[in-house]
Amino acid sequence: MEFTWSEWLKSQLFTTPLLYWRDLSGQTILITGGNSGLGLEAAKHLASMNPQRIIIACRDTKKGDAIKDSLIGTSVEIWPIDLDDFSSVTAFIRRYQKSGYDLDIFLSNAGVGHSTFNVTRDGHESTVSDSCRIQTNHLSNTLLILGLLPVLRQTAEKKGQARIAVTSSEMHLLTSFVEKKYIDEDLFAALADRDKCTTALNTERYGVSKLFQVYTVNELAPLLSKDKIAIHSFTPGLCHSDIARLQSPLMQKVDYALRTLLGRSAEVGSRTLVHVCVHESLRTDAGPNGRYFTDCRERGMPLMGIEIRTNRQGRDRQVGGKVVKQSVQLLMKYAPDIVRESVEGGQEEITMDADVTSIYIPESIFHVITAEQ
């Protein structure tokens, strides 16, 4: 899978994804970041498909309550979550586990795109543990996925399938990921070190956080197939949204100009979100798990044992495995019980004496978990 500006411009200016509709009667849908932008537009489409309920997980519950009336045709619940705070994510997971609800579709959509270096209360860069972007976009979303796996497994066992859809970005193909040089040390400590984040690297942190999401999806995919849990990632393209609301005033103006000239509406962008959430061809029994989509079309399987190349550098499976391994090790420090529980009930055989140095195989992330017990 390669990125080219000509293909991107063709997609943005001349391609309109089609909306796929499927009856979702009796299903429960969870959407993070569903109170605005792409998440809200996807929620509107999904609500029209007759699900039993939609749960909107967001930081601003007042804003969430304000949009409930726009989701016609289903029961809507607004649950608080702050992805900058691991304790909030943990509380959300426990609440869901105790609710007794199934989880048929989990749309992991929430994220931030600010251009400044910020550290969360947990000490990680907000975008990935850049500290802010990395925690919000990658670590907390990974914790949420792992924490909800027991519910997803129960749903899949009862109904035959469950699904996770992860909002990524083409920016993951453009980042140089300079911090890869710390991959055999403490990657997330380096990402959280303000002194290591130059102005040039800071502009790439959003792309790094999205790259880590793709790594996570493709490490989980082979394991979750055995549990009949489909997991795929996608890009909605450049859309009119408020994701740049936390950027500097200058970057907000640049972002606004780009979206005005080249952006598609949030509604059009949301059609790819909906496609990955509901299309029958994405079931685990209908094709490979861990695919990546653009404009409702499969773009490739970027990290499933295949080296992908961008216009800057190749990515390989070893790097992805190491990133996910360190992610899980870090999450074990903040939510050990929840991460351990993500193993229980899975179809993959996990042994206590697993060789955690063999991190290039799909089982690696669960080997990390069991080795910590």
Which residue numbers are catalytic? 168, 206, 210
For the chain, the three-class secondary structure string (H helix, E strand, C coil) is CCCCHHHHHHHHHHCCCCCCCCCCECCEEEEECCCCHHHHHHHHHHHCCCECEEEEEECCHHHHHHCHHHCCCCEEEEEECCCCCHHHHHHHHHHHHHHCCCCCEEEECCCCCCCCCCECCCCCEEECECCHHHHHHHHHHHHHHHHHHHHHHHHHHHHCCEEEEEECCHHHHCCCCHHHHHCCCCHHHHHCCHHHCCHHHHCCHHHHHHHHHHHHHHHHHHHHHCCCEEEEEEECCCECCCCCCCCCHHHHHHHHHHHHHHCECHHHHHHHHHHHHHCHHHCCCCCCCCCEEECCEEEECCCCCCCEECCCCEECHHHHHHHHHHHHHHHHHHCHHHHHHCCCCCCCCCCCCCCCCCCCCCCHHHHHHHHCC
